[in-house]
Amino acid sequence: MGGHPAIPAMIRHTASWIAVFSALVAISCGRVAPRFAPHPGSLAVHSNPPGASIILDGFPTGLVTPDTIPTLEVGEYVLRVGIEGFSSEPESVVVEVFPDAVTLATFVLSAPSTGSIEVTSTPAGASIVLDHGSTGLVTPDTLVAITPGHHVVTVSLEGHDTVPETLAVTVVADEMAHADFTLVEWPPGPQKVVLLESLSNVSCVGCPELAATLFGLMSQRGYGTDRLLLIKYSMNWPLATDPMHMANTADNLARMNYYMPYLNVGIPTLVGDGSLLGQSGTPPDFDGLVALVDAMFAADPGFTVTVEAPLSPGGAEATVTLVSSRRVDLAGCALRVALVENPVVFEEPPGSEGETEFHWVMRDFATAEGALPALDSGEPLVRTVSLTRSSAWIAENLSVIAFVQNVATKAVLQAGFAAATPGAGVSVRIESETRAVSPEPAGGMPR
C-alpha cells in the first residue's frame, strides 16, 4: 500500500498553521498561557453582638457587622472582627470565596471580665474622679464595670484638703478594689475687708448726703476699719479749685480716669471693691449700702493685707505684707497704696454745699507693684512704697490703705489699713493752716 500522496502534504500544511498560530499566541501573550478569571463571589460577616469592625487580610474594610463584602476574587482570605474592649471567638478565620456564591462567617464577641472600686471618704459627700474624669458620683459609692488594670482615683470636697491627694488602684477582674480618703477641713479663711471709693467735689449736689451715709455706716458696730475702708477722691468739677483736688491733681485725675466708665451721669459716685454701687450721680442710701456691703463681706479672699506706716518729716514709708492661707492666683493684679487724712476740717465751707468736714481724703497714691506673683501658703509677700506728705496735713489724722486690685476688671480682692505712726522728727500734732475758700467758677462739668 503506497497511500494517498496528498495526505502527508495536508498534514504538513496543517502542522504549519498550528505552529504559526502557536507562535502568534506566544508573542501576543508574552509567552504566558491565557487565564480566564472565574466569576467573583462575596463574603457575608456576622457577629454577636453586632457592630464589630470587619478586617480583611489585615486591612480595615470600613464596614461593621452585619454586612457583606461584594465582588471578591475567588480565593482564600484571613478575616477578623473587633469591638473595643471585647474578645472574639474565633480570633480570626480563613475563609474561601467561591465564584457566584456568598460565603458566611460568624463570630461571637464577649466583653472582658471587669472589676469594681469602692470609694469612701471621711467625711462623706466628696465628688469622685476616676482617671481624671468626673464620675458624677459622691462618696461613699462603688464604681462598677471597671476595666482590669491600673487606675487613678481622686476625690474633692469644697473647703477641704484630700489626704492622700490621689490613690493608684489596681483593678482585678471579678474583684473589688478599695480607695479610702480623709478630708481635712480648711481653717477659717481671712475675713474680707471691703474697700469703698467715693468720687465727689466740695460743690457737688448730693455729695454731703453720701458723705453722711458713709460716715454713719463706718460708725456702726461691725463696720469699722477692720472690715470696711474708704478712700475719697476729689474731682475737678463743679468747682475746678476744690482744695483737696488741688492738693494732688495728678492722682485724683488718674483715679477719675480709671473709673470713668462709671461716670456716665456724674458725681457723687460710689465704688465698692471696684464695682459701681447704685448709679453714677445716685449712690445707694443707708439701707441699700448696708445690704451691698454685707454681701461683699461674704467673699473669701484667701489672704490678708497688713500695713505698717511710720511717718517721716516728708512722708510715710509704708510696708505692705500679703499672707495667704492657700495658693492664690494674683495674675493681672496690682498692689495700690494710698495715704489718707481723716478728717480734713475747714473753718469755712470750701464749696457751695456747706460742708466743712471731709473724711478719708486721699492725699497721696502709688502703685507698689503692677503685676503681683501668685501667693503660696506660708510664704508672705512683702512690698515697701514711699508716700509723700505735706506739713499742712495733721500727722495723727494720717493713715495708709493698701489694696490688691485686678487692673482689667477693677475688682478689689482684699484691703488692709494702718494708722500712720510718727517717726523720728515728726510732731504728733501739726496745726493746719486755715484753708481759704475759693470762689466757684461760673462753668464746669454738670454732675
Q: Does one domain contain both 376 and 229?
A: yes
**Domain coverage including residue 85:** 41-110
Q: Does one domain contain both 314 and 217?
A: yes
Angle formed by the axes of helices 207-218 and 286-297, nearest 10°: 50
pLDDT at residue 16 is higher than 50: no
Q: What is the largest CA-CA distance in the chain?
A: 168
Task: Establish if 435 belongs to a structural domain.
Answer: no
Q: Residue 185 to residues 96, 156, 163, 365, 389: CA-CA distances in angstroms?
A: 69, 11, 11, 39, 46
Q: Does one domain contain both 106 and 123?
A: no
Q: Which amino acid is at 123?
A: P
* CA separation for the pair 19, 22 (Å, rounded): 5
Q: Does one domain contain both 349 and 317?
A: yes
Q: How would residue 38 be classed by pLDDT, with cut points 50, 70 and 90? A: low
Give the end of a domain, one of 110, 132, 154: 110
C-alpha cell at position 45:
460577616
* CA separation for the pair 43, 76 (Å, rounded): 11
Q: Does one domain contain both 87 and 136?
A: no
Q: Does one domain contain both 276 and 143?
A: no
Task: Give residue 26's pLDDT.
Answer: 41
pLDDT at residue 15 is higher than 70: no
Q: Does one domain contain both 146 and 259?
A: no
Residues 6+ apart with CB under 8 A from 399: 309, 339, 340, 341, 342, 417, 418, 419, 420
Give the end of a domain, one of 86, 110, 134: 110
Q: Does one domain contain both 153 and 296?
A: no
Q: Read off the pLDDT of residues 179-200 as tens digits, 9 standing for 90 and up.
A: 999 999 877 778 999 999 999 9
229: domain CATH number?
Answer: 2.60.40.10
Q: Read off the pLDDT of residues 319-374 as tens digits, 9 standing for 90 and up.
A: 999 999 889 999 999 999 999 999 999 999 999 999 999 999 999 999 988 889 99
Among 35-39, 155-159, 369-373, 433-437, the least confident range: 433-437
- Tell me how many domains the chain contains: 3
Q: Does one domain contain both 307 and 374?
A: yes
Is the separation of the CB atoms in 311 and 319 below 8 Å? no
Q: Does one domain contain both 83 and 225?
A: no
Task: Establish if 282 belongs to a structural domain.
Answer: yes
Give the residues across from 172 on adjacent strands.
none
